[in-house]
Structure 1
């Protein structure tokens, strides 16, 4: 399958020890959006709107709401979490941060759902996730492609596009052709990769890029894409794909991370990823080390997939 995005495969590698499993006792279960009941869908959407109404706390530039705090964390670290080996572990923590805010600050009693995108590949425009009453609203209209129906029509973003800080709407430009690149064949290709060095670039190319560009608008900007609430269902799906890949050789892959990340040094050199690298979400929730993010059923995460 042709790639939508050319990634530079990095040559840094590390031989890392297996992590010791310390499972939580009651992991919450993440389920596909289309399997949720009407009550469960509306409860999730209400909790998201709650985050959009609560005042910001982190001091992130441009942030007005708790929802903006999350967007600010992604915007602030975009250069280190894309096209690098941090892509999967950082976004795993980011999805957990969003899930925790929904549950701890907005009374949501469910888990973070995911969008089973291969089910809708090639026909995003007809997907039930875009329903105006029980979903996220549909595509955009007009010159700015602002969404015109659904629960988020009136929400104004204050961060983005990209690294800018401009007030704008949630926009979409759904592209069925691009969405075809997130079909099951693309997922199977990634699941078949023999090691992390090849698995994470695979996941970040077709599945990741097709989901973003298939929705378009705000989602098509790598830096500020969390402005569209669909971002969290898309990336939770990608996290599920990583977990499915891990499960194929779980004992080894709980400790397998290879590849490079940019250092914070002025010369901009790259260093190899380590299980002891610290993942930070700009103070939204406490920082953790990569090793704590390898097992979704561990104490730091405590969830599982349906």
Structure 2
């Protein structure tokens, strides 16, 4: 970790860039100039030190097969650390995806009207085999990367997929740069609609109503179309589409931003506890929670912080654009956990192929396939274990 001298004097370069960053960067320089703002970022830098040493050893031993290196990676950053032009470029790319026509089979998915909707279809189709499973982390890593890659290839996006750092705003998420309703946010809370909260954790956990519940009030996605579903709604007063999952049912996007969910399950302290667990089984048990014991877990809590329709819908949650910032943060916690536990973390798997092993199914293996339907090619789990391997070439700061 010889060049990770990060706890430097106040004259160090700020973590927030003054000019838009290139699509790929020299990670060595970016890391040296990065000033961590919280203990999660400090753990991340320690992990990056391990990763650098691991990559250098792999190159020397000729074990490195991927063409990706720390000299040309994409660097994913906190939404709060992007400058206005970077945020607007990302927003414009997402809006481009929402305006582009769907490419899925419309005889099967008549409600899918846009490329953005295509991602909802794929997530819904795979949902019963990608949650509470041994492939949960790697499948969503590949899904989020595929979304990022589609923004680049089809909408000319030059940046990286940003993440939503839950802990920073856990006690008041509606005030965060992600949800503040400005033209550089991903929208606001919903308008206030009195309701009786949301049911989470397979019916075991009640999340009280927040200050929203209705249509999004402001921001770049205020008027976006919510075309399919509801598929498995959880907020009181929202009913499943009687015509079926994929039937066309245009309506507004609703949010009920929940400080209860975020302050109960996604604080910085809880994120650090997650990251510093030993072994992927403990990591997954933590992130999944324990519904019967009243623990929603960080992953589900992020979805219920967004709330509404479709943000907390098990199948349809990618219909809220914050989904991808949320899952980038899920991936960030996994990335840091992995880099702190190299090299064993690159082969460490736990879990079966069905949701919490219901019905019983085989154990997940590195040779299992991650499917992306019409969005991209199949890859093996072993090719998704490192963000510098397989199709990937990115890190987190």
TM-score after normalising by structure 1 = 0.88
Q: Which has the higher contact order (CA 8 A, sep 6+)?
A: 1
1:120 aligns with 2:169: yes
What secondary structure does 2:277 align onto? Answer: coil
Distance 1:152 1:223 in 2: 21
Task: Verify the 8 A CA contact 1:21 1:295 in the aligned structure 2.
Answer: no
Distance 1:82 1:126 in 2: 30
The 5 Å alignment of 1:8-87 reads: 21-23=64-66, 24-25=68-69, 26-59=72-105, 61=109, 62-87=111-136
Which structure 2 residue ranges, 5 or more long, are not aligned? 1-57, 194-212, 233-244, 290-296
Aligned position for 1:140: 190
> Structure 1 residues 87-96 or 120-129, which shifts more?
120-129
* Alpha-carbon distance change, 277 to 122 in structure 1, aligned in 2, over 3 angstroms: same
Task: Verify the 8 A CA contact 1:32 1:116 in the aligned structure 2.
Answer: yes
Distance 2:75 2:276 in 1: 25
Task: Verify the 8 A CA contact 1:72 1:159 in the aligned structure 2.
Answer: no
1:171 aligns with 2:254: yes
Distance 1:139 1:284 in 2: 30
Aligned position for 2:381: 290
Q: Deviations over 1:209-258 (max 9, x none)?
A: 22111111121111111110000000000100001110111111111112
Task: Verify the 8 A CA contact 1:50 1:106 in the aligned structure 2.
Answer: yes
Task: Verify the 8 A CA contact 2:132 2:354 in the aligned structure 1.
Answer: no
Distance 1:96 1:302 in 2: 10
What secondary structure does 1:145 align onto? Answer: strand
Distance 1:209 1:234 in 2: 10
Aligned position for 1:271: 362
- How much is the aligned-residue C-alpha RMSD, in angstroms? 1.8
Q: Hey, which bits of structure 1, 4+ residues long, moved more than 4 A?
A: none
Count residues in correspondence: 285
TM-score after normalising by structure 2 = 0.69
Which structure 1 residue ranges, 5 or more long, are not aligned? 1-18
Task: Verify the 8 A CA contact 1:114 1:234 in the aligned structure 2.
Answer: yes
Task: Verify the 8 A CA contact 1:121 1:176 in the aligned structure 2.
Answer: yes
1:187 aligns with 2:271: yes
What secondary structure does 1:270 align onto? Answer: coil
Aligned position for 1:302: 393
What secondary structure does 1:90 align onto? Answer: helix
> Structure 1 residues 143-152 or 242-251, which shifts more?
143-152
